[in-house]
Structure 1
């Protein structure tokens, strides 16, 4: 974790000031944002599923083709300083969302813990809780509705 004398790099700086490496390091590797979501066209309500993007490695919770994900998956949204402030469905534990909201990262975030395994050990990641969308038709997503991706188990 880099310290600029005022604390870790993610504190006290606007998101737009982060280097590419700093920005990418905010991802905690939970994989929750890579889960398919359903939207009610009438109300706009977003409902989570436990169906993962075909590119998500469900064991490592990392994208299998990160550099080409936007070309491969048409509805993959790139996270930017602007988009993380606007996307309502980012998980409440998401490092990007927390920093955008001026909050600190949780103890299990690798920038705090020093280990990329703590997100899994804390039960935050999708590891062991999801299925790949490969072989599952969109009409079957309703069979895989899940509340936990949008919840914060760390909340008091």
Structure 2
């Protein structure tokens, strides 16, 4: 798969751009609705994708190798679906032909986040949500 083909797997939901918290004792990961400083909450795209690591050093680039080891990818993520040999959902732009169906289907983070800018790390726990890790239709 070429780099551009790999990148086209991203459906633009931006769930992976939400901050996650890990319990140090159990390793359990919980989602927050706190968005990365570079996330454009309206378009659900990175404001500086090419240079994101300079601003957000812990941003994880999703490659075939990294995807294999990530346990926190949302169940709707095309990278995860491909890894699990599952079909893409109907709203994925590669299936629907329309990049807006991810928003129309309510899968994206559009309108559901707060920015991490100016927020203390200890306040992230007040923004724990379950919807990013749920299958479509499982709740909000």
- Is the TM value for this pair above 0.5? yes
Q: Extract structure 1 runs of 4+ deviating beyond 6 A.
A: none
TM-score normalized by structure 2? 0.96
Match of 1:124 in 2: 107
- Please name the residue that 1:78 is paired with: 61
Which residue of structure 2 lines up, in the alignment, with residue 56 of structure 1?
39
Provide structure 1 residue ranges, at least 5 long, that are not aligned to the other structure: 1-17
- For these two proteins, the number of residue pairs brought into alignment is 138
Higher relative contact order (CA 8 A, sep 6+): 2
CA RMSD, aligned part only? 0.9
Structure with bigger gyration radius = 1
Distance 1:93 1:151 in 2: 8
- Confirm whether residue 147 of structure 1 aligns to residue 91 of structure 2: no
1:84-122 Cα distance to aligned partner (Å, 9 max, x none): 111000000001110111111000000000011000000
The runs of 5 or more residues in structure 2 that have no matched partner are none
TM-score (normalised: structure 1): 0.86
Residue 30 of structure 1: aligned partner: 13
Separation (CA, whole Å) in 1 of partners of 2:47 and 2:97: 23
Q: Which residue of 2 aligns with 1:11?
A: none
